Amino acid sequence: MFSEGNYGRKFNASLYNISVPFGSLVEKTAREKILTMQKNYPDAQFYMFSNDVNFDLSTLVIFLMAVSTVTIGSLWSGYAKQNLRIRKETGLEGVNSRMRDEEGIKSQDGGGGEEEEISVRVSPLLIMFFVFCMCSMLVLLYFFFNQLVYVIMAMFCIASSLAMYSCFEPLVMATYALPLPVLRLPRINLYICRLDLEIRQLLLLLISLTTAIVWFIFRKTDWSWILQDFLGIMFSINMLKVLRLPSLKICTCLLSALFFYDIFFVFITPLFMKDGKSVMVEVATGHSSDEQLPMVLRVPHLNHDPCYTYTYSLLGFGDILVPGLLLAFCHGFDLMIGTPCKIYWVLSCICYTLGLVATFISLFLILFLSPSRNTYP
C-alpha cells in the first residue's frame, strides 16, 4: 500500500515494521502490563477507549457506607460523651455497670472508665503539629512506598481488629444479664496492656484478630474488598467514638487545616513534582506497586463495561473521619443543651450527605465532559 507523505513523496508502508502495543482492562494483570509498557516506552502516548460513561452502582454502595458510618459513629460519640458528662456531674454509675462490677467482669476497651475524659484535650497548636505529621507521612509514603506500605498494613490490622472488638463488646457485655455460666480467665499482665477477660470476651478478641489476619493474607483476592470495607467501617466508627473534640473552634481549625492539606497535595504538587504527578493520588493508588494502602473503602465497579473490569471505586477514610468529628461534636452539643429534634446534628448530616452527592456528581461530570478523558500520557 502506497501513501503520500507531508511533502508529496510516496512511500510504501509495507516496508516499515510498525507495531502498536495495546492492553485491555478486562485482564486482571492489565495494570501491570500498562505500567510495563509505559516504562518501556517513556515517550509514548497511551489512550483508553470507552464507548460512554455510565453511572456505576459501586458509587451508590460507597455513598451508603460512608453516610451510615458517619451517622452511627457520630451518634455513638454523642451518647458516650453525654453519659460521661452525667456520670461526672452526678457521680452515679449505671445499673449494668454495677452488675458487672459485682460479677467482676469489666469492659476491656476503656470505655466508661473513671479516667476517661469527656473530650480530648486539643489545642490549635497540637492540630498544626498533627497536620504537619500527616504531611510528613504522606511525603515519606510517596518516596518510600514499597517499604512503608507494609508498616501501614500492620498498623491497620492492629487498629481495625481492636476497633472491631470495641464496637462489638457492648453486645457481649449485654449477654451477662442472661442466666448463662460465667467463666473468667486468669489475668494477663503485658508490658503495654492488662487483660482481664471472660471466655466470651476472649472469643470476640480472637474473632477480631482472625478477621484482620484473613484480610491481610487474602488481600489480593477478588473478595478481599468486603473484609477491608468491614474493618474500615469498624475502624472509623471507633475513631469517631473515641476522638471527641472539645469545641467548635478546634473543629474549625482541624477542618480548615485539612482543607488546605488536601488542596496542596492533590492540585498543587503536580506543578512541581516529577512527571506532574499528584502526591496524594500516587500514594492512594499505590504508585507502580501491586500493593495498595488499606486506608480506603473500595467497591468493585458493578456495571458490565469491560473498561472497568477489576477496577474499584475508592473513598478515603479522611472523607469519613474528618467531617464525622464535626457531626459527633454537633450531636454531643445537641444532647448537652437539649436542642429540639437534635437540629444541629440533623442539619450537619444533611449537609454531609449533600456534599458527598455533589462530589460524586462533579467527578462524573469531569469524567464525562473532559475532552482528554480518554488520554493517559
Q: Are 374 and 49 in contact (CB under 8 A)?
A: yes
For position 178, what pLDDT does the model report?
Answer: 84
| DSSP single-letter state for residue 265 | I
| Residue in 52, 262, 305, 334 annotated catalytic | 262
Domain-located, residue 20: no
pTM: predicted TM-score of the whole model, two decimal places: 0.80
Task: List, in sequence order, the alpha helices (H) in 218-278.
Answer: 224-242, 248-263
Domain-located, residue 2: no
* Separation between Cα atoms, residue 140 and residue 55, nearest integer Å: 35
For position 99, what pLDDT does the model report?
Answer: 45
* Separation between Cα atoms, residue 182 and residue 264, nearest integer Å: 55
Helix (H, G, I), strand (E, B) or coil at 81: helix
* Separation between Cα atoms, residue 206 and residue 165, nearest integer Å: 9
| Residue in 56, 109, 229, 319 annotated catalytic | 319
| DSSP single-letter state for residue 228 | H
Helix (H, G, I), strand (E, B) or coil at 189: strand
Domain-located, residue 252: yes
* Separation between Cα atoms, residue 336 and residue 84, nearest integer Å: 11
| DSSP single-letter state for residue 55 | -
Query: CB neighbours (10 Å) of residue 10?
Result: 8
Query: CB neighbours (10 Å) of residue 78?
Result: 25
* Separation between Cα atoms, residue 126 and residue 150, nearest integer Å: 28
The C-alpha cell at 169 is: 463488646
Q: What are phi and psi of 82, to 5 degrees?
A: -65, -40
The C-alpha cell at 273 is: 513534582
Residue segments in the chain with a per-residue pLDDT below the cut of 70: 1-32, 45-55, 91-105, 108-116, 191-193, 303-310, 367-377
Q: Is 334 a catalytic residue?
A: no
For the segment 278-287, what is each residue's pLDDT rounded down to a tens digit?
Answer: 888 888 877 7
Q: Are 48 and 213 in contact (CB under 8 A)?
A: no
Domain-located, residue 22: no
Number of domains into which the chain is organized: 1
Helix (H, G, I), strand (E, B) or coil at 355: helix
Residue 341's Cβ-count burial label (10 Å; 0-12, 13-18, 19+) is: exposed
Q: Is 222 a catalytic residue?
A: no
Domain-located, residue 15: no
Q: What are phi and psi of 315, to 5 degrees?
A: -145, 120
Domain-located, residue 280: yes
* Separation between Cα atoms, residue 225 and residue 223, nearest integer Å: 5
The amino acid that residue 107 corresponds to is: S
How far is CA 140 from each of CA 136, 270, 278, 285, rounded to the nearest angstrom?
6, 17, 14, 15
Task: Establish how many alpha carbons lie within 13 A of residue 267's alpha carbon, considering only the half-sphere containing its beta carbon.
Answer: 5
* Separation between Cα atoms, residue 322 and residue 352, nearest integer Å: 11
* Separation between Cα atoms, residue 179 and residue 189, nearest integer Å: 29
For position 226, what pLDDT does the model report?
Answer: 94
Domain-located, residue 6: no
For the segment 24-50, what is each residue's pLDDT rounded down to a tens digit?
Answer: 555 556 666 777 777 777 777 666 555
For position 278, what pLDDT does the model report?
Answer: 86
Domain-located, residue 324: yes
CA 255 to mean position of chain CA atoms = 17
User: Pairing relation of β-strands 375-376 and 312-316?
Assistant: unpaired
* Separation between Cα atoms, residue 213 and residue 157, nearest integer Å: 7
* Separation between Cα atoms, residue 319 and residue 360, nearest integer Å: 13
* Domain hosting residue 54, numbered range: 28-376
